[in-house]
């Protein structure tokens, strides 16, 4: 029998609150989940919640209960490419290694890679992700089976080719029609124009029109490298965000991944149009793309969430690593140890991420009526002791994904005591290894 009502007792509850700047609420208490939502919260441990009708009780003693982490930029099926091409610049990485391997992709391989990524995310505390790639209906199948929450977009690339452009729209619109609000509402769909240097003006203008028509968001790579900035400026005479502003593309439904190289004028445009930014510190460092001005963006009340990018450029999906590196990178970039403090960084991975995906009314904080997307951290772990008085600092600077004991999404337990309950971990690993072996063989045949 599937558990519907869950009571979590005596946990230390950590709640990033959207209404108060940098404030995170922490208290000992109990929480009741009814079906897919948070139904009741007791802020005092001596005020027990009525357990009548509860089918599952979780002992939260010595555990931190917090919102599930939100990964705002992924390419999940690329989990097959872990370690495929390391220690090189983005241009070489894409042209000489990633794109030649992607030429052999099919739906089965993308499904296998997505399942591998989902297993990794569940085990490291991510409950929602935002993904752009290919064969996305196969990815949606993996999401449905796993119980995780995902926003999906098809990576649209046309390089000015009209026939290819029509195919890209067919793929993305089919994804929207077939998958939006499916899997008990856990799957949302976006349009996914890859970037300003891989998508034509015609594609970008039509994406804006179609996004309005279907009432869905837009997920795009922006301002990741200096070369990209130079290429766009040479082609259009404008910086990337200036170019998108000029063609009427930008709005509050746009999530821009990276935002590393931003001019003062572009930051003004981002603020004016309420564009959301996904910061990917590990990928940006590994590819030597640069350091995004996150502290400056946050100081202007621009919404910045966190993402891992793909494991081909990271090389894992551990959002706790991303949280730590985000904070440390801003400190060394600004030479200010107070930059991007632990409360701010936890908010980036939770409520800011929800806001970036326009899901802040459903997820990202622990509030009655919100979806039960929650994780429990084992605070008896050796790397978390002695515990800091400021819980967020322990989570940002000391924790990693292996400290996650239990993962709950949409009111369903996906992992308990480190054991996956909806997926067969060993079979997923075995199948993924076979898939990348076949893809490498295909790549060699195509040379």
**Mean pLDDT for the chain overall:** 95
Q: How far apart are CA 42 and CA 47, in angstroms?
A: 6
Q: Which of 286, 292, 372, 376 shows the shortest CA–CA distance to 326?
A: 292
d(CA 430, CA 413): 24
- How far is residue 159's CA from residue 198's CA, in Å, rounded to a whole number? 5
Residue 443 reports pLDDT greater than 50: yes
The predicted pLDDT at position 93 comes to 87
- Residue 260, judged by CB atoms within 10 A of its CB (0-12, 13-18, 19+), counts as buried
Q: Give the tens place of pLDDT for each residue, 363-416.
A: 999 999 999 999 999 999 999 999 888 999 999 999 999 999 999 999 999 999
Q: What is the mean pLDDT of residues 225-238?
A: 96
> Do 244 and 250 form a contact (C-beta atoms < 8 A)?
yes
CA–CA distance, 379 with 405 (Å, rounded to integer): 10
Q: Closest Cα to residue 36, out of 356, 354, 363?
A: 363
pLDDT of residue 88: 87
* Alpha-carbon separation of residue 247 from 236, 251, 270, 297, 389 (angstroms): 11, 12, 14, 23, 50
Question: Is residue 362 predicted with pLDDT exceeding 60?
Answer: yes
> What pLDDT is attached to residue 296?
97
pLDDT at 389: 84
- Determine which helix (DSSP H) or strand (DSSP E) holds 117, and give its type and residue range: helix 107-123
pLDDT band (50, 70, 90) for residue 47: low
Share of the chain above pLDDT 90, in %: 90
pLDDT in the model for residue 18: 60
**Better-predicted residue by pLDDT, 136 or 46:** 136
Q: Where are the alpha helices (DSSP H) in 274-375?
A: 281-286, 294-299, 319-334, 342-349, 351-356
Residue 124: other Cβ atoms inside 10 A? 24
Of 408, 384, 385, 407, the C-alpha closest to 396 is 384
Q: Is the pLDDT of residue 46 over 70?
A: no
pLDDT band at 43 (very low <50, low <70, confident <90, very high): confident
pLDDT at 279 over 80: yes
Residue 431 near residue 112 (C-beta atoms within 8 A): yes
pLDDT of residue 17: 79
pLDDT reading at 1 higher than 70: no
Q: How far apart are CA 206 and CA 191, in angstroms?
A: 10
- Taking alpha carbons only, the member of 170, 228, 174, 168 closest to residue 196 is 228
| For residues 125-144, average pLDDT | 98
Query: Do the Cβ atoms of 322 and 340 come closer than 8 Å?
Result: no
d(CA 293, CA 300): 11
* Burial (CB count within 10 angstroms: exposed 0-12, middle 13-18, buried 19+), residue 441: exposed
pLDDT at 7 over 90: yes
Determine the average pLDDT of the residues in 312-318: 96
Q: What is the mean pLDDT of residues 110-129?
A: 98
Q: In percent, how much of the chain has pLDDT > 70?
A: 97
pLDDT in tens, 59-82: 999 999 999 999 999 999 999 999
Triad 377, 382, 385: Cα angle to 5°: 80
Of 80, 120, 70, the closest CA to residue 423 belongs to 120
Cα distances (Å, whole numbers) of residue 446 to 99, 207, 442 = 12, 32, 6
Alpha-carbon span 6 to 213, nearest angstrom: 39
């Amino acid at each position: 029998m599937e558990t519907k009502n869950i009571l979590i007792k005596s946990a230390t509850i950590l709640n990033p609150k959207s209404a108060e700047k940098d404030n995170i609420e922490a208290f000992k208490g109990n929480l009741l989940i009814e079906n897919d939502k948070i139904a009741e919260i007791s802020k005092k441990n001596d005020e027990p919640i009525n357990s009548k009708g509860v089918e599952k009780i979780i002992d939260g003693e010595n555990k931190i209960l917090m919102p599930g982490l939100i990964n705002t930029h992924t390419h999940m099926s690329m989990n097959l490419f872990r370690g495929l091409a390391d220690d090189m610049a983005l241009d070489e990485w894409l042209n000489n290694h990633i794109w030649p391997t992607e030429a052999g992709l099919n739906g089965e391989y993308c499904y296998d890679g997505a399942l591998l990524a989902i297993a990794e995310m569940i085990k490291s505390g991510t409950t929602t992700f935002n993904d752009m790639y290919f064969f996305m209906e196969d990815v949606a199948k993996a999401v449905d089976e796993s119980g995780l929450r995902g926003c999906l977009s098809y990576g649209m690339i046309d390089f000015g080719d009209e026939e290819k452009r029509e195919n890209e729209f067919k793929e993305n619109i089919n994804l929207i029609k077939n998958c939006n609000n499916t899997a008990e509402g856990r799957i949302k769909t976006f349009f996914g124009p890859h970037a300003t240097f891989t998508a034509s003006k015609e594609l970008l203008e039509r994406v804006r029109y179609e996004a309005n028509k279907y009432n869905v968001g837009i997920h795009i790579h922006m301002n990741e490298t200096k070369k990209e900035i130079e290429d766009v400026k040479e082609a259009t005479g404008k910086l990337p965000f200036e170019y998108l502003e000029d063609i009427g593309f930008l709005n509050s439904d746009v999530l821009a991944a990276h935002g590393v190289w931003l001019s003062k004028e572009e930051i003004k445009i981002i603020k004016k149009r309420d564009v959301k930014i996904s910061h990917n510190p590990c990928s940006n460092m590994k590819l030597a793309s640069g350091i995004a001005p996150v502290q400056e963006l946050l100081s202007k009340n621009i919404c910045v969430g966190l993402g891992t990018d793909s494991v081909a450029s990271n090389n894992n999906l551990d959002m706790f690593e991303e949280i730590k590196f985000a904070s440390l990178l801003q400190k060394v970039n600004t030479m200010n140890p107070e930059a991007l403090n632990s409360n701010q960084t936890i908010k980036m991975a939770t409520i800011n991420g929800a806001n970036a995906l326009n899901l802040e009314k459903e997820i990202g904080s622990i509030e009655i009526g919100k979806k039960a997307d929650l994780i429990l951290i084992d605070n008896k772990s050796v790397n978390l002791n002695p515990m800091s008085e400021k819980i967020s600092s322990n989570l940002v600077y000391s924790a990693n994904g292996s400290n996650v004991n239990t993962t709950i999404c949409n009111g369903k337990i996906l992992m308990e005591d480190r054991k996956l309950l909806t997926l067969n971990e060993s079979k997923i690993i075995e199948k993924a290894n076979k898939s990348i072996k076949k893809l490498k063989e295909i790549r060699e045949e195509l040379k």
